[in-house]
Amino acid sequence: MSIGSVLVVLVTTLVAILAGTYAYGVAHLQEIKTNWVQYRCNPVYMPLAGMVGSDIATNFMNCTLQSVNTYAGFIMDPIYQNFNILTGILKTILGSMDFMRSSMAGASNGFLSIVQGTFGKLQNTFQEVIQLFGRVRSIMNRMMTSFAVLMNIVSTGLQTGQSVANGPIGQAAEFFCFQGDTLVDMMGDAVEMIRKIQPGQYLRSGALVKSVLVFDGARTEMKRVGKVHVSGNHKVLHDGKWIRVENHPDAAASPSFKHIYCLNVEGEHRIDAEGYTFKDYEETDNPAILTKFFQQVEAHYGTLTSRQKLADPLKYRYTGVRPSAFIVVRASDGSEVAKVAGHVQIGDVLQNGKRVQAVIRHSRVRMSSFEGSTFALGTWIEHCSRGVTPVLEEECGSEDEHADVVQFIVEGSKYEVLTPYGGWFTVLDDHEVPDDDIHDWRDEQIQKEQET
């Protein structure tokens, strides 16, 4: 058989293996994408990070840091154990020497002097060796610590850069909103600027406006389609499909605005404005997506779970406090003061040092009492270190009437509400969890739902 024939066979075999591997990866791409947390540090799947929406360099850095923290102990423990064994042997020898010296105490002074001098020098030598082992171990500890610190510095730098690019609370800072003068189609033939719309009004489609949201828009990237200035990540209907505004053929650059606005509407979650159809802020009523999202929120904070909220997520989705409730904020001089929730503004600094990024008003929400305070049903309250628990009428007394409520989006997703007894509750905001991965999962599920 000629060399050319052998090369042909080898090349053909290699191509077949690569093709099979690629086909297997593509066939299992959805499985890998769904369970990316399990596969992301597997060397076989790490090159596929870009195909599942994750940055390859960031994923490699995170996995490297995790491996260092996980396996450094396993690598160094045998070395440290050997040092301990050597130290133990030397200590045993020293003990024997001391015993021998004691036994020779009755010998002649001359012979004893020689022996004591010899053993004394040996003892000093062994002590120096033991100290040397200790110094070597200390140096190795410092080297491993320095390496771990370096990896953390690199990782923190990457995360800081990503955080700066994304905004105050990561990707979720790119709010889905409109410029305040956007004209929205209202009941009948009327139009209204979105900043003037109130909860309880009706759109031209007959959908009830359930919520009005006002956001800090300074860092939100805006686009213009027609006469509408809207965030680039907002969904717009184009050729029968929901796409991001930034991908619309009519999209053009637009400046950012101090405040931007959005709505939650019942029904199909649609907002018609200036000849375009957009999604509202919530985008979906799918209970399966909401239930899974709430489960991830609970797991993020601790071990507590609420079967009732998970069983009927639509009933408990709108959270918040009465406008008359008192929120703990910081005054300009740094002191803590109580401020009526209805008067809290974007930019206010809360008791925990976090800034208010959005103010939300919900209309006609079911209410319930909890230890003397009134909240919207389903509002998450932090329960020490065990996690969060929602306010539910079965657990908290008789159900109150429907009422308008105020909710916020704040840095860190938590704020404090004063109780009638002088204490306070820590309440989760409308964003509920400061974890971009959880919100990215929710957005992906909504996108899949809109594509079907």
The domain total for the chain is: 4
Cα radius of gyration (the chain): 33
Candidates 375, 210, 213; CA nearest to 309 is 375
Q: Is residue 109 part of a domain?
A: yes
Do 294 and 279 share a structural domain? no
- Residue 384 structural domain: 287-439
Each residue's pLDDT tens digit, 34-88: 777 677 777 766 776 677 667 777 777 878 777 766 666 666 777 777 777 888 8
Do 238 and 254 share a structural domain? yes
Contact, 271 vs 192, CB < 8 A?
Answer: no
Do 314 and 257 share a structural domain? no
pLDDT at 171 (0 to 100):
42
Each residue's pLDDT tens digit, 151-170: 767 766 665 565 454 444 33
Q: Is residue 199 part of a domain?
A: yes
Candidates 47, 53, 13, 18; CA nearest to 33 is 53
pLDDT at 278 (0 to 100):
97
> Cβ contacts of residue 354 below 8 Å, gap of 6+?
410, 411, 412, 414, 415
Do 302 and 261 share a structural domain? no
User: What string of pLDDT tens digits covers the 452 residues of the chain?
Assistant: 577 777 877 888 888 887 777 676 666 667 777 777 677 777 766 776 677 667 777 777 878 777 766 666 666 777 777 777 888 888 888 887 777 777 766 666 666 677 777 877 777 887 887 888 778 878 887 887 777 777 767 766 665 565 454 444 334 445 679 999 999 999 999 999 999 999 999 999 999 999 999 999 998 999 999 999 999 999 999 999 999 999 999 999 999 999 999 999 998 899 999 999 999 999 999 999 999 999 999 999 988 888 999 999 999 999 999 999 999 899 888 888 899 999 999 999 998 889 999 999 999 888 888 877 889 999 999 977 788 989 886 444 444 567 899 999 999 999 999 888 778 889 999 999 999 899 989 988 988 887 76
3-class secondary-structure state, position 330: strand
Candidates 91, 96, 152; CA nearest to 119 is 96
Q: Is 302 exposed, middle or buried (0-12, 13-18, 19+ CB in 10 A)?
A: middle
Do 96 and 21 share a structural domain? no
- CATH number of the domain enclosing 387: 2.170.16
* Angle, alpha carbons 39-439-347 (nearest 5°): 140
Q: Is residue 119 part of a domain?
A: yes
Q: Determine the residue type at 6.
A: V
User: Which domain-ending residue is among 259, 283, 307?
Assistant: 283
Q: Is residue 424 part of a domain?
A: yes
In this prediction the pTM is: 0.61
pLDDT at 169 (0 to 100):
39
| C-beta neighbour count of 210 within 10 angstroms | 23
pLDDT at 70 (0 to 100):
67
pLDDT at 4 (0 to 100):
74
Do 71 and 39 share a structural domain? no
Task: Please measure the distance between the N-terminal and C-terminal CA atoms of the chain and give it in whole angstroms.
Answer: 56
Q: Is residue 449 part of a domain?
A: no
Six token digits for residue 233: 């990540």
Each residue's pLDDT tens digit, 410-420: 999 999 998 88
Do 161 and 69 share a structural domain? yes
User: Which domain-ending residue is among 283, 318, 339?
Assistant: 283
Contact, 420 vs 156, CB < 8 A?
Answer: no
Do 37 and 116 share a structural domain? no
Do 387 and 300 share a structural domain? yes
- CATH number of the domain enclosing 223: 2.170.16.10
Q: Is residue 172 part of a domain?
A: no
How does DSSP assign 396-450, residue by residue? HSSEEEEEEEEEEEEGGGEEEEE-TTS-EEEEE-SS----HHHHHHHHHHHHHHH
Q: Is residue 447 part of a domain?
A: no
Do 352 and 241 share a structural domain? no
User: Which domain-ending residue is among 127, 145, 166?
Assistant: 166
Do 320 and 206 share a structural domain? no
Q: Is residue 445 part of a domain?
A: no
Do 421 and 299 share a structural domain? yes
